[in-house]
């Protein structure tokens, strides 16, 4: 059997209409949305299916919304197929991966992502920040430029998405200075449409408070191999996983390293479970040309049928 990895998207993958087909088709999906709405007191199904996109994209709404769609997509797949071996999720998508791996329950997954979104929204309004994607330079060069700007403002690496796509985060002036340095070296700098400087010290208060919430949630040993954002490595120890997750909010998402690890483990089937095609797009830039991989997206019925037919 070919090794298979399920990948769960985070913020940036949303679109109006996401999850609606699974909601109409499966009781399990409806139950997930009902549970999400009971926990959050937000009409998540209306936001996902009807929008408006501006309201859906608000961090406090989006984190439980994208998680609900991820888990509804997973539930639809698992009616027919459960033989996947690896899980990973990008930023807030990592909580969907924790659930898929059997580490935390669906209810605790939703409680955590809702609280995470609340705290991040709070800190984003207290400490304004921005994020830019730097395209065309390797991580060592970007990290060096970031280090040079640490004495005047806050700036750090937020996401290492592909070999030459790195997102930086922090205060506006410090991020702009690093972007200018990158542009002078021939890289492209793209400001991102985000409401806060995620994965930076500007949301340290949120991370500290969120750690208290994590402590109240029971973590179990993973039933699938779970690659974590902070380390780009796996762990079988629930206490270690919880400790690593307590650092996730302000640590870089080492997505490139995690995907390279899956490639080294000879994973041949990659499934983006949830809305959009962001992670599939990144993976296509990471995979070696001679790697015998198949990439699937499962966010609607047509995509589900294709995956189940092929697998």
Q: What does CATH list as the number for 4-125+201-310?
A: 3.40.366.10
Per-residue pLDDT at 40? 98
Q: What is the pLDDT of residue 129?
A: 96
pLDDT at residue number 150: 77
Cis peptide before 15 (omega within 30 of 0): no
Which is catalytic among the residues 45, 73, 199, 225?
Answer: 199
Tell me, what's the pLDDT at 276?
Answer: 96
Is 199 annotated in the active site?
Answer: yes
d(CA 266, CA 291) in angstroms, rounded, equals 9
Task: Check if the beta carbon of residue 245 is closer than 8 Å to that of residue 99.
Answer: no
DSSP state of 234: B
For residue 260, the Cα-to-chain-centroid distance in whole angstroms is: 17
Domain boundaries, the chain: 4-125+201-310, 129-191
Residue by residue, pLDDT tens for the chain (311 residues) are: 899 999 999 999 999 999 999 999 999 999 999 999 999 999 999 999 999 999 999 999 999 999 999 999 999 999 999 999 999 999 999 999 999 999 999 999 999 999 999 999 999 999 999 999 999 999 999 999 999 887 778 999 999 999 999 999 999 999 999 999 999 999 999 999 898 999 999 999 999 999 999 999 999 999 999 999 999 999 999 999 999 999 999 999 999 999 999 999 999 999 999 999 999 999 999 999 999 999 999 999 999 999 999 99
In order, the DSSP letters of 79-110 are TT-----EEEESTTHHHHHHHHTTSS-HHHHH
pLDDT value for 152: 78
How many angstroms separate the CA atoms of 205 and 212, rounded?
A: 11
**pLDDT value of residue 1:** 82
Whole-model pTM?
0.97
Which one of 13, 45, 73, 91 is the catalytic residue?
91
Specify the CATH number of the domain 129-191: 3.30.70.250
C-alpha R_g of the chain = 19
Q: Residue 151: what pLDDT?
A: 75
**51/264 Cα distance (integer angstroms):** 40
Cα dihedral angle (4, 23, 49, 206), rounded to 10 degrees?
-60
Pairing label, strands 269-273, 4-8: parallel
């Amino acid at each position: 059997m070919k090794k298979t990895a399920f990948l769960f998207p985070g913020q940036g993958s949303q679109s109006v209409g996401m999850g609606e087909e699974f909601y109409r088709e499966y009781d399990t999906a409806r139950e997930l949305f009902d549970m999400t709405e009971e926990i959050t007191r937000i009409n998540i199904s209306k936001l996902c299916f009807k929008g408006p996109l501006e309201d859906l994209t608000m961090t406090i709404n989006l984190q439980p919304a994208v998680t609900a769609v991820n888990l509804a997509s997973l539930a639809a797949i698992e009616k027919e197929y459960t033989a996947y071996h690896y899980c990973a999720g990008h930023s807030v998508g990592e909580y969907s991966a924790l659930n898929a791996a059997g580490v935390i329950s669906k209810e605790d997954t939703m409680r955590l992502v809702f609280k995470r979104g609340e705290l991040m929204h709070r800190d984003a309004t207290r400490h304004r920040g921005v994020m830019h994607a730097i395209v065309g330079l390797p991580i060592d060069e970007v990290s060096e430029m970031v280090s040079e700007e640490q004495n005047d403002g806050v700036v750090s690496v937020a996401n290492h998405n592909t070999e030459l796509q790195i997102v930086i985060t922090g205060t506006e002036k410090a991020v702009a200075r690093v972007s200018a340095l990158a542009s002078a070296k021939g890289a492209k700098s793209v400001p991102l449409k985000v409401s806060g400087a995620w994965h930076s010290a500007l949301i340290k208060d949120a991370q500290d408070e969120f750690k208290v919430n994590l402590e109240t949630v029971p973590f179990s040993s993973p039933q699938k191999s779970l690659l974590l954002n902070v380390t780009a490595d796996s762990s079988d120890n629930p206490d270690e996983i919880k400790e690593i997750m307590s650092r996730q909010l302000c640590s870089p998402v080492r997505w490139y390293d995690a995907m390279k690890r899956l490639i080294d483990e000879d994973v041949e089937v990659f499934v983006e479970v949830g809305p959009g095609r962001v992670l599939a797009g990144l993976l296509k830039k990471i995979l070696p040309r001679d790697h015998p991989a198949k990439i699937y997206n499962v966010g609607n019925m047509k995509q589900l049928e294709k995956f189940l037919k092929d697998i």
